[in-house]
Structure 1
Amino acid sequence: MNKWLQNDLWLRVVSVALAIMLWGSVTDATLTAPTDGDRTQIRDISVAVKYDKNRFELVEQPQKVVLTLYGDNTVLERLPSTYRVFVDARKVGAGVHSLPVQAEGLPNGITKQIEPKEVEVHLEEKVQKEMMVQAEFVGDVPEGFRVSLPIINPSKVLVRGSESTLDKVTSVKVMINLNKQEQSFNKPLRVQAYGETGVLRHVEVNPETVQVQVPINIPNKEVPLRVEVGKGPPTGYAVEKITTNVDKVAVYGPEDYLEELQVYNGPKLDLSKVKRDQTILMPIPVQDGAIKVEPQQVEIYVKMVRAETKMLREIPIEITGLREGAEAEIISPSGGKLNITLSGAPEQLAKLNNTDIKALVDVSNLPVGTHEVPIQFILPSYVQVVGQPEPKAKCRIR
């Protein structure tokens, strides 16, 4: 043993071995992770990407990472939520790049470890193209109203994004919510880019909003206004003439209703207590099928005179409503003719003759046999039949 200790070579070997052991123990102490109590691990952290958003588009989000933090437990337990894990792609161009993952905003004294240390970032250079703005309606206007072609200003916008994203853009639209609107409107609306699957999120549209004017109207037609006498004047009085301050009205309603409309029936006059000239202001009723009428009122002038009477003889009675294959004849009055007394203004009565009067009996839906049927008269305006409250005819159907 003493000889070994006195041997220089042996001493050198032992010294080197001790040095290696000491270095290994120090190195192990340095590289060994802290105890479990001084460590926290956060998984599935999204990695933010810093890049020039004016020039490039991030094609897809980088993979998520695991962040392991070492330090004092009191610090780890109060870790601020403002820290951020990111990669800096501001100095690279378009393409796929493998960049180191960094963290910022961590407290002092905290040691970090990120796995993986690098992630791939795919950037594409932005391009743009001009596209027409289309309008799409949501909902509908009330029945009878009509929406005309909307006016969009500006009518074209710039669509900007990566080339692969712009290839997916099929249209740019504004959505117009009609929501039972009855009046035209003009308002700004947001423009969005659409692909086959719907709205495309990673597309810039400039300008983001456009002014949209939507004309909403109702089809209308101008037709003559008819004012009728609902109740005639008192006995001994007659209407000589009725005039109105408007001859025609604009009727608004569905197109199929307007196509059939030739005359618009206005208010019916009650003259049962009128004995002298009068000017009457009356509302024009909105008849079934119409939405509105303009003007809404009419001024009616009624000229009254003392009534006279006139008899017309042998007015023929016509039969209407006779079904196919049947025959009918008037039994009474005899010969199918009757005499009637008319009351009206003197000037009007003087012009009347038998051809101006029609007497009708309607036998619709009547079976074979003999029936008493009311006689209906078609008379000139403001002329009445007097002396025969409910004239009837007896007719036979075979």
Structure 2
Amino acid sequence: MDKWLTHPTALKIISVLLGVLLFAVVHIDPETTPQATVSSVDTQALEAVTIEPVGLDEEKYVLTAMEPTVVRIVVEGPISNLRKNSPADYVVQVDLTGVKPGLQELPLSLKLPRGIQEVELSPRKVTVQIEEIVNKTFEAQVITEGEPAEGYVAGTPAILSENGNTVQVTLPRDDMNKVGLVAVTMDVEGAEKSIENKKAKVVVYDTEGQEIPNAKVEPSTLHVETKVTRPFKLVPVQVRYSGSLSDDLSLVSVTPELDMVTVYAEQQLLDEITVYDGVVLDLSKVKQSGMIKVKTTPVDGIEAVNPGEIELAVIVEGTTTKTLANLPIKVIGADSGNTVELTSPASGTIDLVIGGAESVLKDVTAEDVAVIAKVDGLAPGVHTIPLELELPPYVQLVLEGGQSLSATVEITGGSVMSEGDEQQEDIEAGGATPTPPGESNEGGGNGGSEDGVPDVGAGNGSGNSTADGSLNEAKLAEDVRGGVATAA
């Protein structure tokens, strides 16, 4: 050892080492001395990782509740691994495979990235509520919201979809028991025309009127429409005529296929409409019995009619005639206190020839015809006045050999009648009981229009009768030939 220390080379080496140590002691700052080596492993906490349910048979069941829905995870691993993984790489699952309906507690499983280890999972179990899914068919309804423009009304909404208003609703069984209504909504606020083919979402409501948001509906939308129109009313049909039949034909009956039609008009006018007479049959086009389509034309302020046309069942036969003898002439309308005497014809009766179909005429008797002489407003004196006739439907007057349908009356002023005496206003020739003014003769009816063919009410075949068979006095005053005939 002494030899080694005294060796020149060894002394040089030792001197160099001592010099280096002395330099280090003098020049290196202890404050900057490197710290101890940092560990390469660390821990990380994730506070709210969402629990993912898996394995549930979603065609049969639904997860309606889970508590809790998030968990806390603490993991450990290399710092580099911890830094490169995001929270989405940490998967917490609850396996619902084969789980039956009900409330139950199940364990959680944790899937971690490579190189990461679990330190803590809290909680380790979760409580789930599983319910059975059921399907049920409902008929959807349409709910209208708002009001149409002033003067318009909204009709009954309709569903236009291929399967009508039928939809299938899928819900958990408990929720299905709460369903109160399945409907689509249509907004008609301010509308002035019909809303057509609108696509609307089907919504399921509970019994308290609240939407059930988790309901699945098939189909999810429906096509709907709502008519927005003027006010409307259902009224009976009355047929009018134009033209005339050929001389060898007469009407037996004209029957509309529909007794009633819908008319649209302003409400004030609609309140006054009691019958629709816009159906006009052109008799010149009738050559034989059969069905004839006629348009329902808007008349007298009516804006529209539904349907736009109807069919008439028209029956015609060959024309024949019949003579009614000794028909009494009724004088009506005499002023109070006046006496009226029928001077011509002196007998107070008249013979008439009527024409029409044989099947119609065979049942017509003298009691079905009224011959009327109106003296309303005539002053005392001698007057020749036209006679008016009340004839059954589809019966016409036939004038032969220059026959004049008129009568001569003499009106004289009478004495003032004592109180309580019955005032004589109407006189029937020959001393018969007078007929009060405006009273129609029993069994009579004009059944005619201005061109000599009767108007037809809603299925009853009489222009002087309404749909219920009551007498239409306004029409009596208008009709001339075929029901009430007037001649000079």
TM-score range, shorter chain: 0.3 to 0.5
Q: Which has the larger Rg?
A: 2
Q: TM-score, normalised by structure 2?
A: 0.37
